[in-house]
Amino acid sequence: MIHVGIGYDVHALVESRKLVLGCVEIPHTRGLDGHSDADALAHAITDAVLGAIGEVDIGHFFPNTDPRWKGAPSRVFLEESARQVKARGGRIVNIDATVIAEQPKIFPHLAQMKERVAAALGLPVTKVGIKATTNERMGFLGREEGIAAMAVASVDLPE
The range of the structural domain enclosing residue 24 comes to 2-156
Pairing assessment for the beta strands 31-32 and 128-133 based on DSSP bridges? unpaired
Query: How many whole angstroms separate alpha carbon 23 and alpha carbon 39?
Result: 7
Domain count, the chain: 1
pLDDT per residue of the chain (159 residues) written in tens, 0 to 9 = 999 999 999 999 999 999 999 999 999 999 999 999 999 999 999 999 999 999 999 999 999 899 889 989 999 999 999 999 999 999 999 999 999 999 999 999 999 999 999 999 999 999 999 999 999 999 999 999 999 999 999 999 998
For 38-134, strand residue ranges (E) read: 91-100, 128-133
- In 3D, which of 133, 101, 96 has the Cα closest to residue 114? 96
Specify the CATH number for the domain of residue 42. 3.30.1330.50
CB atoms within 10 A of CB 16: 7
